[in-house]
Each structure stands twice: as C-alpha cells, then as structure tokens.
Amino acid sequence: MQRRTIAPIFLVGLVLLAGCLSAPLQTTADGGADGINATNATTVSTTGTGEVTADADLAVVSIAVTTTADSADEARGTVADDVAAVRAALTDAGIAEDAVQTTGFNIYPEYDYSGQERELLGYRAAHTLRVEVAPDRAGEVIDLAVGAGASEIRGVAFTLTDEKRAELREEALTRAVDSAKADADSVASAADLTVTGVHTATVGGSASPGPYPVAYAEDAARASSGSTELSPGPVTVSATVQMVYEAESE
C-alpha cells in the first residue's frame, strides 16, 4: 500500500519540475534504414528578441496643395501653378528634384446637401507631395512649402534610410540570437544537458510599427512668424528569431 501512495507523488514532482523550464525540450529517435542502433536526439527551442535604438537619418514630409474653383479645369490649373511654385522653392533651396515625389492627385465636385436638392458648390483639386530630406531640414521644408503656396502639411515622419535600417537590423538580429542562446543554455543546464549546436533557425519580422520604423515629431511649429522647429524622437529596430538547438547529456 505504501508504494502505491509514493509513486503518484513522485510523478507529480516530475511534472512540476518540467513546468519550471523556460523553453521546451524534445527528444526524437533517429535510426538507420534497418531501424538498428537508433540514437536519441534532444533539442531545446527558444525565441529571442533584439532591439537597437538610434537617431533618425531621414525625414519624410507630406505636403498638400489644394484649391476650390468654379470649374474642374480652373481648379486643376491653380493647383498646378502652386505645385510648380513649391517645387521651385524646394529646388532653389538645394533639395534634389528626385527627393520630391507625387503621392496623390484628385479633382472632385463639392455639393451642398442642405436643401431638398444638392447644389454644386465647385470643384476641389488636391496634389500631395512626399519630400525626403535630412531630419534637420524638415522644418525648413515646411516653411518653404507653405511660403510657396502649400495648403496643408499632412505629416512629418522621422525614419531610417535603407542602408542605416539594414545595418541596425543586422545588429538587432545578433542580439536576438544571443538572447535565444542564453535562454537555451539556461534551460539545458537545468536539465543536465549541454547545447552542442543549432538545429534550425527562423527569422521573424520587425516589431517596429509599420513597414518602416518611424518616430513622429514631438513639437510642432513654434510661432507663425518664426521658423518651424521639430524635435524627432529615437527610432527602434527590432528583430525576432526562433531557434532550435541540439543538446546532449553532460
């Protein structure tokens, strides 16, 4: 009767010990074609995340030129003239032409629906531009664009160039792998095992918001009579890896 009482308690103890491990252990049997001399292969699975924070090296300013006129052609012509003036102001300031790109254009009628029948008020045209410059020139771009006829500044984002983002992601991946390896070593040690190599590795996507890591401006224009000053925040690049390590008994 005493043996029947102790055995379940011992099994519960094993289950509780297994629940304390921070990563799963898995044992599989590998053998030859004839099934003889099979050996047990133990693996430890972990996930690691790495982050790198840096100052932005690219500012993206979204500019819109809009107008309303009695006819669609008049609205189009007014917007075309204003956009040309904005482009000229930016170019004269030394901003490359290929750094200014159109991101949207539309013309549509506007109606008043307050009466029993809708009444045509006019036609609205809008042309949006994307301007890429160094972060310290973002405020200057805003001032130049508005001074030349831009109607709206639809946003400023501080982010990273492709080269800088690739450099930081490589560093983030290194940190993620180091984190995963440290967890695997801890789990293996707790189970009286030693990690002997990598079985598989899978790279996850970036954890940063959006397709690109972005930090938005914290401060808007200070005063209408002064120059626009912006304070970009830091940009964080994240990477995640799922690692499976081979392990053997110590």
| pLDDT digits 0-9 by tens, 147-163 | 999 999 999 999 999 99
Q: Return the DSSP state at 191.
A: T
* DSSP H stretches of helix in 20-151: 72-92, 138-148
Domain limits, the chain: 43-54+163-218+231-249, 58-159
Q: What is the pLDDT of residue 131?
A: 98
Q: State the pTM of this model.
A: 0.71
Of 146, 141, 157, 199, nearest in space to 59 by CA: 157
| pLDDT digits 0-9 by tens, 54-84 | 999 999 999 999 999 999 999 999 999 999 9
* DSSP H stretches of helix in 68-227: 72-92, 138-148, 162-190
Given a contact cutoff of 8 angstroms between Cβ atoms, the answer to whether 177 and 229 are in contact is: no
Which DSSP helix (H) or strand (E) runs through 200?
strand 193-203
- In angstroms, the Cα distances linking 78 to 91, 92, 111, 142 are 20, 21, 20, 20
What CA–CA distance (Å, rounded) separates 240 from 174?
10
Full pLDDT tens readout for the chain, 250 residues: 444 443 343 333 333 333 444 456 565 544 433 333 334 579 999 999 999 999 999 999 999 999 999 999 999 999 999 999 999 999 999 999 999 999 999 999 999 999 889 999 999 999 999 999 999 999 999 999 999 999 999 999 999 999 999 999 999 999 999 999 999 999 999 999 999 999 999 998 553 433 344 444 444 344 455 789 898 889 999 999 999 999 998 7
Looking at every residue in the chain, the average pLDDT score rounds to 82
Does domain 58-159 correspond to CATH entry 3.40.190.10?
A: no
- Return all residues near 49 (Cβ < 8 A) that are at least 6 apart: 176, 179, 207, 238, 239, 240
Q: What is the total residue count of the chain? A: 250
Q: What is the pLDDT of residue 38?
A: 36
The token pair that represents 243 in the structure block: 């690692």
Does domain 43-54+163-218+231-249 correspond to CATH entry 3.40.50.620?
A: no
Given a contact cutoff of 8 angstroms between Cβ atoms, the answer to whether 44 and 184 are in contact is: yes
Of 247, 135, 241, 233, nearest in space to 194 by CA: 247
